[in-house]
């Protein structure tokens, strides 16, 4: 099983449950706020990890920022499509919470990245998170970069 497949499964499961929770509690848009918070933490911890490893590079940092901006644009497009479908075509699925599901899927991916940044800094990581990262790396075939 390759890395893309595992990441897609994780995103699908997290996105499904995230949209379900957003639907149950009518929290449209809260997921994006949480995602932006996690993206900010990931970016900051990535910068710190790069500095600790003496690999700080403005081009790589800009590319990371551009990817995060693209994710926000993509989620905005999903919300726009949901809005158009529910208001102009009388087509509604889960009360407009699919965008929240997509955002929650990316929250899970950002959390894994934050944890990986901690490992790169040799920061103390709880055992359960280390085990989770080990499983993800085994399933994806990703080797440690050290």
pLDDT of residue 8: 65
Residue 146's pLDDT band (cuts 50, 70, 90)? very low
pLDDT of residue 51: 94
Evaluate if residue 109 carries a pLDDT over 60: yes
Q: How many CB atoms lie within 10 A of CB 67?
A: 10
The 10s digit of each residue's pLDDT in 22-79 is: 666 666 567 888 899 999 999 999 999 999 999 999 999 999 999 999 999 999 888 8
Q: Which SS3 state, helix, strand or coil, does residue 10 take?
A: helix
The pTM for the full model equals 0.72
pLDDT of residue 96: 62
Residue 23 contacts residue 94 (beta carbons within 8 Å):
yes
Q: What CA–CA distance (Å, rounded) separates 41 from 109?
A: 12
Residues, the chain: 146
Residue 82's pLDDT band (cuts 50, 70, 90)? confident
What are the sequence ranges of the domains in the chain? 3-140
């Amino acid at each position: 099983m390759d890395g893309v497949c595992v990441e897609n499964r994780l995103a699908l499961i997290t996105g499904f449950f995230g949209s379900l929770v957003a639907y149950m509690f009518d929290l449209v848009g809260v997921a994006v706020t949480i995602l932006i918070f996690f993206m900010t933490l990931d970016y900051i911890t990535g910068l710190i990890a790069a500095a600790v490893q003496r690999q700080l590079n403005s081009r790589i940092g800009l590319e990371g920022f551009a990817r995060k901006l693209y994710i926000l644009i993509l989620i905005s497009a999903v919300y726009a499509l949901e809005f158009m479908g529910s208001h102009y075509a009388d087509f509604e699925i889960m009360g407009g919470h699919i965008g929240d599901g997509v955002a929650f899927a990316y929250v899970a991916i950002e959390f894994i990245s934050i944890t990986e940044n901690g490992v790169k800094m040799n920061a103390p990581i709880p055992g359960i998170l280390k085990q989770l990262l080990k499983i993800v790396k085994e399933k994806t075939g990703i080797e440690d970069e050290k």
